Structure 1
Amino acid sequence: MLEYSHDWRLVLAAFAIALMAGFTGLSLTRGVSRRSVGERKVAVSMAAVALGGGIWSMHFVAMLGLQLPILYTYDALTTLVSALVAILMTGLALLILHFRARTRRSITLAGVIIGLGIALMHYIGMSGMELCRPVYTPMGIAGALVASVGLSVLAVRLAYSERGRRNIVLGTVGFGVAVVMVHFIAMAGTGFLSDGATGAIGPALSNETLAIIVTLAAFVISAAFLLTGITFAPQPEEAAAPGLAGAAPPEPAPTAAPRAEPAALRVPHEREGRTYFLEPAAISAVRAEGHYTLLQKGAETLFCPWSISEAEERLAPLGFLRVHRSYLINPAHVVKFERLRDSGQCSVDGAESLRIPVSRARLADLREALGL
């Protein structure tokens, strides 16, 4: 077996690529469930290229950092196939996350698919090595598969337990750690043998130069996708937001028809496969239910596809208060408030039996809203 080591500068560059790709993919898909099907497909496709391509770029840069006592190169076609596998598997996982109901089972399935994609990409890419031959151990392959699937499921759960900024950051770190750990766990179970070729002509570009090119390309693509994602389909709340104070509104094009005023916010709820909309003023409370929420309208409880974080972001400007990690309330509907040592609880009209907890940190805000 040949002895080998790693250039740790390229290892750090590979980790940076994994973080950038994870942040790009998760940022592009934030809020896409509120877009049209066409816009959602575009966003998911861009995220698949950014995230899957970033996973491959990380692997390739880390492999370029592999230092062997002999010359080695990569077959271009096999390397391309490994990149396509990473992109396609990531795209399939994103389709499940954004075109099906997001449940614990679907999130786990998406993580398993990404994990299998990472492992397949790694071993397909390794098979493209020329002038030396990788040799695997059964324990090394098993360890890489277990780590790939387990860490990917954890990363997807971190990113999709809610879809707020905090989860994007946590998911980014999770994806970065997953990809890098899988690579080096797999490498720990891999040896290398020379294929006996001598007098081979080396590549026109050194490994370090190729690594720099791939790293720069990955960052440029991610940055371009982020900028495109920000401008190509504004969030509904951004489109409806008022302009900056003192800023003049943009003049419409001379031939354009008059633009309609943005519609007032209405809250979606689903029943029997149909989506209906509700005026926010009719809602007395919002309760977290897994990755979704339940709306309280009098004595009626309705299913809403928003997460509790998304509901807070949209309804807080209308006076709703987050009184607990699982509850938003409309102070106008509160009919009873009770102080309980360091916390409290309240009830809303039509559902007086529902005891809504109020955390200690939110007591002052609620008391002020109630005029107490």
Structure 2
Amino acid sequence: MEFLDVDHDAFLVVMACVVALAAGFTGLSMTRALSTKSEIHKKALITLAAVALGGGIWAMHFVAMLGLQLPTLFYYDAAITLVSALTAILIVGAALIILHFAPRTPATITLAGGIVGVGILVMHYIGMAGLELCRAVYSPLGVALSSIVAIGLCILAFGIAYGKRTNRNILLGTLCFAIAVCSVHFLAMAGTNFVAVPSGAEFGPSMSNETLALGVIFFSFVIFGACLWVSVTYLIVPANKKPEAPEDHQPSRLQIPCERDGGKVFISPSEVAFVRADGHYTQVYTDQERLFCVWPITEATKRLLPTGFLQTHRSYLVNPDRVARFERTKDKGRCVFNGTDLPPAPVSRSKLKPIQDALASQLGATRAT
């Protein structure tokens, strides 16, 4: 078996790395502060982020492949090339769904990072399978090294970017993501040889480097355009709005995202009397007003229980500091608040005793009737 001589165009190698950076920055930035968004908005942004990250993996690979120089003519199978792009987008989308719709723990962040690492590998080898008139011959060492680097660096990238959602960490996560994508490609290519083969059966129509270049250029422009659009959000804070609350789970810094007169406001948990489930969203009650909140009751429970709130009912979370008295009638109970305009919050039968005990220490035994 005679291997072909291989070389790379240095300019396209650099451009491939730039595409990976732009895709990582765009995708990771699109998912900032998703907890403050409505469910539909959240799903739309996750979809766009999956296209940016997964499509960026694909674009980086094929920008680099455009720079591949072989002493023989070769083509790409258009159908397999398309499958490689869609596979990367779907796998990255699955990882983002885990990150944003499951409790975010070190285990889920590690799982999501590992899935994206696998997505890079799958995309790379499906893309390489689309070569026509030449065939890639892989070395076990190259496959092993690229696999370890892909999964390890993606776990590191997502651990940094999602461990604590600060701008600095997102930028560091972007760098790790880009290094992961580029390292996988070039490590795998370093352990790959090519042999010329006669034309065989085709899965889809053949596509030349020139045709591929048009698709890659178009998608790269889309990524860079989205990158510029996302960049604006780091530089501009509307004058009539407060800056978005930090997306972390520290109770002392927690702010509840609400809507008032069509605008977004952030309410401190100390201002809230109770929170009530309202379909897929919640209603937040303060002494003066009732506000709409995009959090579902499960998210509100996860965020507010560590701050001292009590879950009196599957649909109610109560701030014990705002409770004036606890009333119990047989197997029913309710929390009554300061202020005549606030309705009482019900207490379910299964929670009567723990709520009464918790409020007894808060109000004093003589005030818990």
8 Å contact kept, 2:26–2:223: no
Cα distance between partner residues in 1 of 2:148 and 2:73: 32
2:152 equivalent among 141, 150, 154: 150
Describe the superposition over 1:242-272 as per-residue Cα deviations: whole angstroms up to 9, x where unpaired. Answer: 79xxxxxxxxxxxxxxx92757531359x99
Give the direction of change, closer, same or farther, for the CA distance of 1:187–1:88 in structure 2 (3 Å limit): same
Q: Which amino acid aligns with 1:140?
A: G
Could you tell me which residue of structure 2 aligns to residue 110 of structure 1? 112
Cα distance between partner residues in 2 of 1:230 and 1:268: 30
Cα distance between partner residues in 2 of 1:273 and 1:102: 23
Describe the superposition over 1:28-73 as per-residue Cα deviations: whole angstroms up to 9, x where unpaired. Answer: 1111122111110000000100111011000011011111111111
8 Å contact kept, 1:75–1:129: yes
SS at match of 2:266: coil
Equivalences for residues 59-78 of structure 1 within 5 A: 59-78=61-80
SS at match of 1:101: coil
Does residue 1:19 correspond to 2:6, yes or no? no
Give the direction of change, closer, same or farther, for the CA distance of 1:106–1:238 in structure 2 (3 Å limit): farther
8 Å contact kept, 1:159–1:168: yes
8 Å contact kept, 1:115–1:148: yes
8 Å contact kept, 1:143–1:185: yes
Equivalences for residues 243-322 of structure 1 within 5 A: 260=261, 262=263, 265-267=266-268, 300=308
Q: Which amino acid aligns with 2:32?
A: R
Cα distance between partner residues in 2 of 1:110 and 1:190: 28
Q: Which amino acid aligns with 2:241?
A: A
Cα distance between partner residues in 1 of 2:4 and 2:79: 25
Cα distance between partner residues in 2 of 1:171 and 1:222: 18
Give the direction of change, closer, same or farther, for the CA distance of 1:273–1:22 in structure 2 (3 Å limit): farther
SS at match of 2:135: strand
Cα distance between partner residues in 1 of 2:242 and 2:276: 34
Gaps of 5+ in 1: 244-258, 280-291, 304-372
1:121 equivalent among 123, 128, 135: 123
TM-score (norm 1): 0.62
Give the direction of change, closer, same or farther, for the CA distance of 1:46–1:136 in structure 2 (3 Å limit): same
SS at match of 1:135: strand
Larger mean CA deviation between 48-57 and 259-268 belongs to 259-268
TM-score (norm 2): 0.63
8 Å contact kept, 2:7–2:70: yes
Give the direction of change, closer, same or farther, for the CA distance of 1:268–1:26 in structure 2 (3 Å limit): farther
Residue 193 of structure 1 and its aligned partner are, at CA, apart by 0.5
Gaps of 5+ in 2: 201-205, 244-259, 287-301, 312-369
1:140 equivalent among 130, 139, 142: 142
Give the direction of change, closer, same or farther, for the CA distance of 1:71–1:239 in structure 2 (3 Å limit): same
Give the direction of change, closer, same or farther, for the CA distance of 1:239–1:49 in structure 2 (3 Å limit): farther
8 Å contact kept, 2:112–2:158: yes
Describe the superposition over 1:267-309 as per-residue Cα deviations: whole angstroms up to 9, x where unpaired. Answer: 359x999889697xxxxxxxxxxxx989987xx5899xxxxxx
SS at match of 2:20: helix
Q: Which amino acid aligns with 1:241?
A: K
Larger mean CA deviation between 49-58 and 137-146 belongs to 137-146
The number of equivalent residue pairs is: 267
Percent identical among aligned pairs is 50
Could you tell me which residue of structure 2 aligns to residue 214 of structure 1? 216
Cα distance between partner residues in 1 of 2:158 and 2:125: 22
1:178 equivalent among 160, 177, 180: 180
8 Å contact kept, 1:26–1:159: yes
Q: Which amino acid aligns with 2:108?
A: S
Residue 220 of structure 1 and its aligned partner are, at CA, apart by 2.8
Cα distance between partner residues in 2 of 1:103 and 1:272: 25
Residue 221 of structure 1 and its aligned partner are, at CA, apart by 3.8
| Cα RMSD for the two superposed structures | 3.8
Cα distance between partner residues in 1 of 2:161 and 2:213: 29
Residue 196 of structure 1 and its aligned partner are, at CA, apart by 3.9
Describe the superposition over 1:198-246 as per-residue Cα deviations: whole angstroms up to 9, x where unpaired. Answer: 9xxxx88655x85476245313344247638979xxx9x9596179xxx
8 Å contact kept, 2:25–2:227: no
8 Å contact kept, 2:12–2:64: yes
Residue 162 of structure 1 and its aligned partner are, at CA, apart by 1.3
8 Å contact kept, 2:73–2:133: yes
